[in-house]
A and B are shown apart, each in its own frame.
Chain A
Amino acid sequence: MQLSKRGLLASLAIGALVAATPAQAQVTLKVWSIDGVDRPGIADVYAKEFDDANEDVVIEYRAVPFDEIVNETLRAFATGNAPDIVSFDNPDFALFSSRGAMLDITDRVANSEIVSKAEYFEGPLNSVTWEGKLYGLPKYTDTIGIFYNKDLFAAAGLTEPPTTWEQVADYAEKLTDPANNVYGITFSARAGEEGTFQFLPIIQMSGGGADKVNTEGAAKVLDIWKGLIDNGYASRDVLSLGQWDSTGVFNSGNAAMAISGPWEIDRMVEDAQFDWGVALLPTIEEGDERSSALGGFNWGIMANTAHPDEAFRLLEYYVSQEDRIFTEFGNLPARGDIALPVTGIEKKDAALTVFQEQLQYAQPRGPHPEWQKISKAIYDAEQQALTGQMSSMDALNQAQTTIDGIFN
């Protein structure tokens, strides 16, 4: 241990001598993100490029696991070890931006030649905005739609994907085939953010939102979902399946439809031994208002950075590379002005077109500094209704009481 530490110091000293040749003062930027833990991602790869291209800036990059990044940053922030730039899941962003922990970059963005606010989709942009000010920029985005197994649809005499939730229930009944272990549909109603992620769009479609969850429409769809489970058209395990596991059931041919997002496409192309397609998330009534979940991460500069100018330059660099993020990492840019290149994989290209359209309807979760509490109220209510512990309306009313307590 001792030896290696000394060796490290020596090599650092040599490195410093070599790097000291240019006379410029060097600025160190600490960048934290979830990329690079498992495989290279946007944050680590482009940070390295920026570091290499700029003599005056050194990037200290740290990859933090997904489930830890908020807690790590909170702890670091409280003890004065916070990074300069950090990337959060979009519903977590308001926890920091609303409390003045993120740098207000409204004016910098307005004056920037690289960042153009107008090009971003509305949903992602809302998630980095707090009280009219801009505290960050979207890194990439995600949403959900309904995947369907075309082979099973054909066998059941169906041609088109469902467009309303009532139709979903109707189709699911036709598609369910207990003899072959096939459910009509699978989705995720797990006790966690994923449950809210898939259910909040329903609330939003019915005219509600984070502050108003007990709508007639939401209760109606919850009743439909409960019917799916009680009738055996969906597995009771949707209550504990995460989205990845739930879609795994679809990929293995054990469910004919699945609510999920574009991150599934590659695994599906590889594993699914059937023809499949994607459609927009169904609405409550034909032609009703659309909505969809908004996934994806945001960039932000932390308010206590000593180098806001250099940090913003790095942010601009990330933005300038956004036309590469899909081809290199499969992430969808949160902007309308970047056309996705054709991959040549027919099903994948068709699915991406649908998700690109769906993104225009995606609405953020919150933004609210106590989003996670709101989210727990929502998924608890959803589960109480789906397990029959409470009627849908009663469960949503109870959630509304909790949420009112948070908003007031």
Chain B
Amino acid sequence: MTRTYTPWILLTVALALAAVYLFPLYWMYVTSLKTGSEMFANPPTFWPNNANFGIYPEVWARRAMPTYLWNSVLIAGGVTAITVVLGTGCAYVLARYRNHWIDVGLFFVLMLQVLPASVMITPLFVGFNQVGLLNYPRTAVVLAAAAKAMPFFVVLVRATFMSVPRELEEAALVDGNSRVGAFFFIVLPLARNGILVCAILTFMSAFGEYIYSKSIIQSPSLQPASVGLSGFLGPNSTDWSSIMAYSAIYVTPILVAFVILQRRIVSGLTSGALK
């Protein structure tokens, strides 16, 4: 008897957990609709007294949102492309062997992550200036952010390659495939799901790239959406409703995409490569 009820109890618990977890998101939407003073009212209001939906068109008009969003897409796309092309091969090799060189390689990949982006920006700025990359600011940001995303990608994709049975690759080699052939035609297709999902995750975190963009990209027409946020912080004021509305505009499409795509994302990752 209990067996039939269990899934529904679990579902209820899951919904409750999700509601708790998503509460901050709700608070973002509610705060965006409150006036600059109501948001500081005690006790706080769970729904604004006079919801100001006009804030959304206003923020949209005040900022060149389409341009910003497009730049975010371009930058995130570039970061993902570089990370996937360079990171996949690296992860494959690091998963293929088991010796001290691999230990050293993994160690380096992680250690090169040691500095926060805020500390890396000055030397990168100086270097990009020297090689003239500052004239191609979006490219410069893509390169810098890809280096930041790479270790994460390598570690995750390496785990995916670990779950591809070695015997399959060896069988392909015995059949007369070259190493290159075996990699591209046997191993890669098997690890496709994992790589795809890691690429999506890389894309999403690169979509919010902020620290490099704000220093390297000077022209507003080339800046991504994340940079537009800091403009709401003035010397003496913080335009919270606009910040919240702006980020709602910017997060909601990704969220919707996420909910639509999540079956692929989550199941792609959790099903591993094969199982």
**Which chain A residues have a beta carbon within 8 Å of chain B's beta carbons?**
1, 34, 37-39, 62-63, 65-68, 71-72, 75, 78-79, 81, 89, 142, 181, 242-245, 248-249, 251-254, 261, 263-264, 267, 270-272, 295, 297
Contacts and interface: CB of A to CB of B under 8 A. Distances in A.
A34 B233 CA distance: 10
Contact of B122 (A39, A63, A75): A75
Contacts of A89: 235
Contact of B236 (A78, A79, A142): A142
Given A81-B129, A267-B36, 10 more contacts: A1-B74, A37-B231, A62-B218, A63-B231, A67-B230, A81-B134, A251-B36, A263-B236, A267-B37, A295-B235
20 contacts: A1-B74, A37-B230, A38-B231, A63-B231, A65-B214, A65-B231, A65-B233, A67-B230, A67-B233, A68-B214, A68-B230, A75-B215, A89-B235, A245-B238, A248-B37, A252-B42, A254-B40, A254-B41, A271-B38, A272-B37
Contacts, number: 87
Given A65-B214, A271-B36, A263 B220 contact: no
Interface in B3-45: 35-43
A248 B234 contact: no
Contacts of B233: 65-67
A66 B234 contact: yes
A38 B239 contact: yes
A195 to B, nearest CB: 14
B125 interface: yes
A62 B220 CA distance: 9
Interface of B: 35-43, 62, 74, 122, 125-126, 129, 134, 138, 214-215, 218, 220, 227, 230-239
A260 B35 CA distance: 19
A162 to B, nearest CB: 23
Contacts of B39: 248
A79 B230 contact: no
A43 to B, nearest CB: 13
A242 B35 CA distance: 17
A38 B42 CA distance: 29
A38 B125 contact: no
A205 B62 CA distance: 42
Nearest to B237: A244
Contacts of B125: 75, 79
A252 B62 contact: no
A249 B231 contact: no
A66 B42 contact: no
Contacts of A78: 126
Contacts of B134: 81
A264 B129 CA distance: 41
Contacts of A181: 42-43
B36 A261 contact: no
Contacts of B230: 37, 65-68
- Most chain A beta carbons < 10 A, residue from B35, B38, B43, B233: B233
Given A38-B232, A65-B231, A295-B236, A252 B38 contact: yes
A297 B234 CA distance: 12
Nearest to B35: A271
Contacts of A242: 238
A37 B231 CA distance: 5
A68 B235 contact: no
Contact of A68 (B138, B215, B234): B215
A68 B40 CA distance: 27
Given A37-B231, A75-B122, A78-B126, A252 B40 contact: yes
B18 to A, nearest CB: 30
Contacts of B220: 63
Contacts of B41: 252-254
